Structure 1
């Protein structure tokens, strides 16, 4: 039996995204931010809903901006440095 269905079975095709390295992204997913805090997926979304994790909404996507997230924790992130997190420790003094 021959049908006049479009290729792909009539399903919508998703546009291929260009994946950039995670270290270059300015945001985390909510589950990724939760993992950094030692939280599971559901606990991370609950914390985001309560406002404990800073979020922005882009369409239907909920993302955690790295800057405010690390500022909340009292740490810094070096951009494009493999998400290297720096604490608030003081630099070591050089011997005189």
Structure 2
């Protein structure tokens, strides 16, 4: 269903913003803005921003952002 690269990313528990942007087909800047707005739920660890791949899979399956993510 997904490309091999996307499957490799989605196999991990979390992914970086740029990886998620590529999977969702949006730009890097749009992804960071969506995280900042809270549209894409993320965890901040120091300077790193991580996104649960479960949330990404839910977004792709639903075709939208889940109301209760994470």
| Same-fold status (TM-score > 0.5) | yes
Give me the TM-score of the superposition, normalised by structure 1: 0.48
Structure 1: 4+ residue segments shifted above 4 A: 21-24
- Higher normalized helix content (fraction of residues): 2
Gaps of 5+ in 1: 1-20, 76-96
Question: Which is greater in Rg?
Answer: 1
Gaps of 5+ in 2: 1-7, 63-70
State the Cα RMSD in Å: 2.0
Give me the TM-score of the superposition, normalised by structure 2: 0.63
Count residues in correspondence: 55
Relative contact order (alpha carbons < 8 A, sep ≥ 6): 1 or 2 greater?
A: 2
